Amino acid sequence: MYEFAINTSAPKAELYRELVQSADALTAGESDGVANMANVAALLWQSLPDVNWAGFYRMVERELVLGPFQGKAACIRIALGAGVCGTAAATGKTQLVEDVHAFPGHIACDAASASELVVPVKRDGNVIAVIDLDSPSPSRFDTDDAAGIEALAEILSERI
Ligand code: SME
């Protein structure tokens, strides 16, 4: 059993510091990428308030394919450049979307989602996966969330 005492009501900088430390401890020394993504998805789900989907899409033969996640069953394949995830994967840049309904081509996997944060995970400069967070609240994510999830992506670069 793993017990991580992450203070979910702490200021964001502290919350993400604890989350990244916990993810580091959980994945260190484990070479199985699926196991690591599954545990990190669970950690994100238990640590971040007001989130209705948290998980991974993996780059498989120039297409995003659903990976381990928490939340409702979701679309399985996303073309590069399509939706928020496909845009993050195609550009290699974090996508911070305050209102998903205003994002051209947004893919609605859960009708409850109102805002979204997608961060690419890179290895040797190439996108190998994206971390996707959805919230039912508009403007749920800000640049502090983006920085926190980017730090997480950095840790995971060689572990998924
Ligand atoms: N909304 C995403 C699709 C993935 S789900 O949110 C889990 C998108 O537009 O890429």
| Cα 85 to averaged position of ligand 1 atoms, centre (Å) | 6
| Cα 90 to averaged position of ligand 1 atoms, centre (Å) | 14
**From the CB of 146, is ligand 1 less than 6 Å away?**
no
Token pair, residue 159, equals 């572990």
Residues in the chain, overall count: 160
Instruction: Give the amino acid at 151.
Output: A
**One-letter-per-residue 3-state SS of 61-77:** CCEEEEEEEEECCCCCE
Q: What mean pLDDT, rounded, does the chain reach?
A: 95
State the Cα–Cα distance between residues 152 and 20, nearest whole angstrom: 5
| Cα 145 to averaged position of ligand 1 atoms, centre (Å) | 17
**One-letter-per-residue 3-state SS of 16-54:** HHHHHHHHHHHHCCCCCHHHHHHHHHHHHHHHCCCCCEE
Q: Is 58 helix (H, G, I), strand (E, B) or coil?
A: strand
Please write the tens of the pLDDT for every residue from 18-50.
999 999 999 999 999 999 999 999 999 999 999
**From the CB of 67, is ligand 1 less than 6 Å away?**
no
**From the CB of 90, is ligand 1 less than 6 Å away?**
no
Domains belonging to the chain, first-starting first, are: 12-156 (3.30.450.40)
| Cα 117 to averaged position of ligand 1 atoms, centre (Å) | 10
Q: DSSP code of 109?
A: S
Q: Quick one: average pLDDT of 52-78?
A: 97
Atom number, ligand 1, closest to the C-alpha of residue 55: 7
pLDDT at residue 6 in the model: 82
pLDDT at residue 128 in the model: 98
Name the helix (H) or strand (E) containing 94.
none
Half-sphere exposure (CA, 13 Å, Cβ side) for 56?
Answer: 26
